[in-house]
Structure 1
Amino acid sequence: MPQVRIAYMPLVTYPEPVEDESILATTAFASALKCMLHVTAFSVHIPQLNSPLGQFLIDVPGLVRASEERSKAECHRLQGLIEEASRPHLGVHCTSREIVLGGALNSAAAEARYFDLTLLPWSDEIVGSKDIAEAVVFGSGRPAILIPAIPSPASFDHLAIAWDASRVAARALGDALPLLVDGGRISVLTVKDEKPLSGPNIAAALASSLEKRGFRAKSIDIALGDRAIGEVLQETALSEGAQILAMGGFGHSRIRDFILGGATKGVLNDLRLPVLFSH
């Protein structure tokens, strides 16, 4: 039986979802990957708070019900948007789940473990984009691709890997290679002056290893200078013509407060192309 790759797209509808443009770009991205797509839209359940005095001043139960209804309606609207955009080239299964307020992030991370990878629509303007990205990247154990609202290629034939010879970088490379078409190219990007590295020629060593395994690879050593590392990695990937950047996600969680590595934080603050994170 042939294997089928299934991507997962979680959508949080409260307090606001990402823009339709990002969701449509992510749907097109799934089609370019030639995978099936499972979409879960999370509606919110807000527990009632007993405040008799407050209800004289404001209709708290009414506001809660209105927020919940808007969230449910947005779930249905987004499912329709994705189903319409996916026809006839992409197999999509859409579902919705009602989750108590604050529970969608953990639920998305847990559900992501049942799929090959997670595709996350990205918007710099929506705070929830960063929240769910951090939850899935650091909590799911599966690769996650953040996707801005830009046109998607027909297929993926050029991958850039941010390479520092770390465990998470190796994990990101392994997760990204299956996305490349046969004969695809790989640009190995190493920033020389950002932190101590394990050797002087680690980009060339990886490129040589990839070529022995049948890939077309090129090593690129980058001088950081006074630029931010997230900026320089993305700029170099784009200038080389890469369609996706893969990198290890550095960070850890402490009661949902994330301390992110410089490259991870820099990319999340200014996403310019699809970026695959593995942790």
Structure 2
Amino acid sequence: MALKDILLQLTSYPRRTPKNVITAAAELATLFEARLSGAVCRIEMPDPSNFMARKLTDITQVIAVENDKSWAAADALIEEFRATATESGQTADTILLPCRATLQSTELIRHARLHDLTIMPMSADAATQFTAQDLIFGSGRPVLLMPENVRPLPSLEIVVVAWDGSRAASRAVADALPFLRRSRIVRLVTVTGEKPLGPGSTIDALRDHLSLHGISAIPDTEAADGSGAGEALVRYCGQHGADLLVMGAYGHSRVRDFIAGGATKSLLATTPLPVLLSH
């Protein structure tokens, strides 16, 4: 798969997407010679239908003021996104998402399905994590979680691939091929002692498979040592100076929705480096 169409999720209000994340996304798109589009959520708070609430608190005026702030913030973010993209040689497209109170995952997912990759800036708030979870399990496309402190032009020197032989891990490897081809060092790691591993988890076979794509990889293991797989992978990435972690997103269905598994949930909550997730 080639990366030719990248979507960046942008939030303008109340928490603004940091400029360094926009810069990193623009430079990544330039690296892959891909189009970059920014999906901007413009929050519009609905007017309550309760007459007494409007009468007693003048809530209509309060909401109008907040909506004006939101629209102004969205317009300013669009201008910053376009200017940053231009600096990186990009002609940026923008997609304005109508949102009520918070970002609507369904709108973002609809656009993500028509892009090769969606970049999701991450923060500690629960709303962002829920949106990322919906995007990962609902879009059918890989999602790149980008921490707020990411460096401009994120390096792809050292990439770690988490491997357990599962369907999700296999999907992640396929989606990550454009990144792996550009990296200098690829490390394949299986976390041991955390869960039973099936016969498909043979890491040497994955190394041989990648070699046919011209990718030289180093197989390795990391003991869980009582921690979860997510914590073990972050620890391993830190020890080896990884610039990107690639892994399958795991979850189980619940009334048509997906609930993130332990490792995925851990990385949604704390993302110390860019993480490419596929489901």
Q: TM-score, normalised by structure 2?
A: 0.88
> Compared with structure 1, are the counterparts of its residues 90 and 236 closer, same or farther at alpha carbon in structure 2 (3 Å cutoff)?
farther
What residue is the counterpart of 2:178 in the other structure? Answer: 178
> Compared with structure 1, are the counterparts of its residues 154 and 58 closer, same or farther at alpha carbon in structure 2 (3 Å cutoff)?
closer
Aligned residues: 276
Amino acid in structure 2 at the alignment position of 1:63? V
What residue is the counterpart of 1:96 in the other structure? Answer: 96
What residue is the counterpart of 1:62 in the other structure? Answer: 61
Partner of 2:43: helix, strand, or coil? strand
> Compared with structure 1, are the counterparts of its residues 26 and 213 closer, same or farther at alpha carbon in structure 2 (3 Å cutoff)?
closer
**CA distance in structure 2 between the aligned counterparts of 1:272 and 1:161, rounded to whole angstroms:** 16
> Percent identity of the aligned residues?
30
User: Tell me, which stretches of 5 or more residues in structure 1 are unaligned?
Assistant: none
Partner of 1:215: helix, strand, or coil? coil
**CA distance in structure 2 between the aligned counterparts of 1:54 and 1:88, rounded to whole angstroms:** 48
Partner of 1:180: helix, strand, or coil? helix
Shift of 1:226: 2.1
Q: Does the aligned pair in 2 maintain the 1:18–1:121 contact within 8 Å? A: yes
Q: Does the aligned pair in 1 maintain the 2:13–2:73 contact within 8 Å? A: no
Shift of 1:273: 0.7
Deviations 1:120-172 (A, max 9, x none): 11222x33321221121011100000011221446524321110100010000
Amino acid in structure 2 at the alignment position of 1:97? L
1:82 aligns with 2:81: yes
Q: CA RMSD in A?
A: 2.5
Deviations 1:244-269 (A, max 9, x none): 11111112464797522111011112
**CA distance in structure 2 between the aligned counterparts of 1:265 and 1:164, rounded to whole angstroms:** 17
> Compared with structure 1, are the counterparts of its residues 183 and 156 closer, same or farther at alpha carbon in structure 2 (3 Å cutoff)?
closer
What residue is the counterpart of 1:114 in the other structure? Answer: 114
What residue is the counterpart of 1:47 in the other structure? Answer: 46
Deviations 1:156-214 (A, max 9, x none): 24321110100010000000011234574321110111111013961222113222442
Q: TM-score, normalised by structure 1?
A: 0.88
**CA distance in structure 2 between the aligned counterparts of 1:48 and 1:253, rounded to whole angstroms:** 35
Shift of 1:67: 2.2
Deviations 1:195-237 (A, max 9, x none): 1101396122211322244211111111101223212202212
What residue is the counterpart of 2:138 in the other structure? Answer: 139
Shift of 1:48: 2.3
